[in-house]
């Protein structure tokens, strides 16, 4: 009887252009590749922030998976939600000032959506991890000093909680501590296990 040849584990691909998500996924110490999804991120008319995040996360995963049918693909998206209004990446200084002024003294819910798909087996899961962030009452001098120091113009909501941006906040409420940075690792590890990749067994040790 011929010896059983073990089936190699599937490739893991992060469908993202975000360096923050790439750095977060590296914490799981599992080999992965990165492929940039070609997805139009324009919100639909009247689309709620949570729905937008979920739609884009799944669209990113599907778009990349269409080119890598043998892989497990992660897609993720985050939209800041201020009373039902989506707040995206500012892209520049003045827009960041306006965003932080609008969030001063208020609670913003960062809607982080995660999709994991494996075309070869038909596996597809989508979930969302909301993070409630309460901003302090911020003066213009504080806003200006923060933005000049950290220049978070590629971050939804104009603040990096993992850096100096933590000084802008009164509280963070979440069940998954990395969700605010852009990739909920507790949920990611869970969905990868379901898709056939156990990060503890795949890690180099």
Hey, which residues are catalytic here?
77
- CB-based contacts of 20, cutoff 8 Å, min separation 6: 155, 181, 182, 183
Question: Are the CB atoms for 113 and 81 separated by under 8 Å?
Answer: no
Q: Are strands 72-82 and 85-87 parallel, antiparallel or unpaired?
A: antiparallel
Using alpha carbons, list the distances in angstroms from residue 33 to 10, 67, 79, 160, 200.
12, 13, 24, 25, 18
Residue 122 DSSP label: T
Which residue blocks in the chain are alpha helix, DSSP H?
19-26, 49-65, 93-103, 140-150, 185-195, 199-202
């Amino acid at each position: 009887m011929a010896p059983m040849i073990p089936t190699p584990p599937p490739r893991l691909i992060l469908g993202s252009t975000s360096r923050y998500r790439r750095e977060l996924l590296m914490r799981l110490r599992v080999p992965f590749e990165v492929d940039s999804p070609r997805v139009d991120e324009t919100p639909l008319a009247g689309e709620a922030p949570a729905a937008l995040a979920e739609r884009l996360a799944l669209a990113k995963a599907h778009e990349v998976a269409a080119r890598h049918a043998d892989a497990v693909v992660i897609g993720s998206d985050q939209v800041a939600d201020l009373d039902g209004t989506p707040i995206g990446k500012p892209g520049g200084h003045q827009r960041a000032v306006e965003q932080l002024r609008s969030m001063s003294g208020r609670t913003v819910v960062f809607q982080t959506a995660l999709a994991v798909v494996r075309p070869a087996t038909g596996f597809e899961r989508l979930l969302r991890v909301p993070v409630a962030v309460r901003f302090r009452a911020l003066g213009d001098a504080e806003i200006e000093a923060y933005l000049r120091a950290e220049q978070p113009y590629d971050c939804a909501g104009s603040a990096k909680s993992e850096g100096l941006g933590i000084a802008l906040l009164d509280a963070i409420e979440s069940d998954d501590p990395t969700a605010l940075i852009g990739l909920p690792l507790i949920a990611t590890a869970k969905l990868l296990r379901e898709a056939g990749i156990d990060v503890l067994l795949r890690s180099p040790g």
